[in-house]
C-alpha cells in the first residue's frame, strides 16, 4: 500500500503534487528500526533504481524501509523538505502499527535526495509547513543519515541542475547559503554515513568532504568512504565490484548504531 502524505491536499493523480510514501516492511515481530529512502534525480525526477532496490536491501538487514516520492520541479523549496519532514513524522506517528521503534527512524538519500536527507538532518528544528493534524506533532529529526554521493552545497562545488530545479534560475545568495548543508550542521545533527567517488563528474566529491569536515567540527559521529573511481548515480553499484562494497560497510555501520538484526 502506498500512502498519500497530504491526503487533505491531494490534487488529482499527479505524483508531483501528491507526494507518497511506500512502505517495505521487514518480516519481523519485534520493535525494530526503519529508514526513509530519498531517491536522487536532480530535483527533477526520482530515480527508480535508488528507490525499491535500496528498500529491499534494507529489508535484508532486518530494517523496514519507506520510499519517499517527494515533490520535484516545477515545485520549488520548501516543497521537497516539507514532504521529507512530513514523511519522518508519518513513520513515527504510525510506528506502533508497523512495530517500529520511533526512536530509530533514519533517512537515506542519493545525490539530490542526499541533499534532501542532509537538509532533514540539519534543519529539523525549523518547520517548513503549517501543522495540520496529530502527525505534525511528531519530532522531524532523523536518528541517523546515510548520504550517497550527496549534493551538499548550493554555493561551492554545487550541482547546477539541483540548484535551479530546487530554487529557480536566479536564486538569491542568501537562500543558496541557507540550504548549503555544510553551513547548517549543529550539535543535534544525527550520526552520518557518507560515500562518494573521487571522480564523480556530476556532483563533485568536495560535497561529501565539506560535510564530513562540518560534522567533525561539531563532533558528530560519522563514517565516510571515498572510492577512487565510479560514475555518478551508481545506486547499489551491483555492476562495480569495488564501489558495491559501500553497502557492506554501511551494514556494519548501521549495526553499530543499533539498526538491523
State pTM to two decimals. Answer: 0.96
Who contacts 163 (Cβ-Cβ below 8 Å, separation ≥6)? 154, 171, 176
CB 65 within 8 A of CB 58: yes
Over 50: is that where the pLDDT of 168 sits? yes
Q: Which residue has the cell 520541479?
A: 73
Spatial separation of the C-alpha atoms in residues 18 and 118, rounded to whole Å: 23
Spatial separation of the C-alpha atoms in residues 173 and 132, rounded to whole Å: 31
User: Each residue of 19-48: pLDDT tens digit?
Assistant: 999 999 999 999 999 999 999 999 999 999
Q: What Å distances lie between residue 228 and 27, 120, 240, 253, CA to CA? A: 36, 28, 12, 21
Strand positions, DSSP E, the chain? 3-4, 20-24, 32-38, 64-69, 100-110, 145-148, 192-197, 222-227
What rounded mean pLDDT belongs to the chain?
A: 94
Who contacts 188 (Cβ-Cβ below 8 Å, separation ≥6)? 124, 125, 141
- Residue 11, judged by CB atoms within 10 A of its CB (0-12, 13-18, 19+), counts as exposed
pLDDT band of residue 14 (cuts 50, 70, 90) is very low
pLDDT band of residue 10 (cuts 50, 70, 90) is low
Q: Which residue has the cell 534525480?
A: 41
CB 108 within 8 A of CB 37: yes
Residues in the chain: 261
Q: Cα 238 from chain centroid?
A: 21
* Amino acid 17: pLDDT: 59
For residue 163, give the H/E element and its range: helix 160-167
Amino acid at each position: 500500500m502506498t500512502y498519500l502524505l497530504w491526503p487533505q491536499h491531494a490534487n488529482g493523480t499527479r505524483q508531483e503534487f501528491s507526494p507518497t510514501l511506500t512502505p517495505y516492511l521487514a518480516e519481523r515481530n519485534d520493535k525494530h528500526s526503519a529508514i526513509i529512502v530519498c531517491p536522487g534525480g536532480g530535483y527533477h525526477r526520482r530515480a527508480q533504481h535508488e528507490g525499491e532496490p535500496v528498500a529491499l536491501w534494507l529489508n535484508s538487514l532486518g530494517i523496514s524501509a519507506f520510499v519517499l516520492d517527494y515533490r520535484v520541479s516545477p515545485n520549488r523549496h520548501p516543497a521537497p523538505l516539507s514532504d521529507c519532514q512530513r514523511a519522518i513524522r508519518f513513520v513515527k506517528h504510525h510506528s506502533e502499527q508497523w512495530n517500529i521503534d520511533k526512536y530509530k527512524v533514519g533517512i537515506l538519500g542519493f545525490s539530490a535526495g542526499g541533499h534532501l536527507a542532509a537538509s532533514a538532518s540539519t534543519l529539523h528544528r525549523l518547520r517548513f509547513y503549517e501543522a495540520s493534524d496529530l502527525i505534525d506533532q511528531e519530532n522531524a529529526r532523523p536518528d541517523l543519515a546515510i548520504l550517497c554521493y550527496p549534493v551538499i552545497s548550493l554555493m561551492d562545488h554545487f550541482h547546477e541542475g539541483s540548484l535551479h530545479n530546487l530554487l529557480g534560475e536566479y536564486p538569491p545568495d542568501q537562500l543558496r547559503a541557507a540550504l548549503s548543508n555544510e553551513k547548517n550542521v549543529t550539535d543535534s545533527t544525527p550520526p552520518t554515513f557518507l560515500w562518494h567517488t573521487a571522480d564523480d563528474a556530476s556532483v563533485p566529491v568536495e560535497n561529501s568532504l565539506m560535510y564530513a569536515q562540518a560534522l567533525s567540527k561539531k563532533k558528530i559521529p560519522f563514517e565516510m568512504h571515498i572510492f577512487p573511481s565510479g560514475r555518478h548515480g551508481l545506486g547499489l553499484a551491483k555492476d562495480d565490484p569495488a564501489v558495491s562494497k559501500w553497502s557492506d560497510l554501511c551494514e556494519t555501520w548501521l549495526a553499530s548504531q543499533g539498526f538491523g538484526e
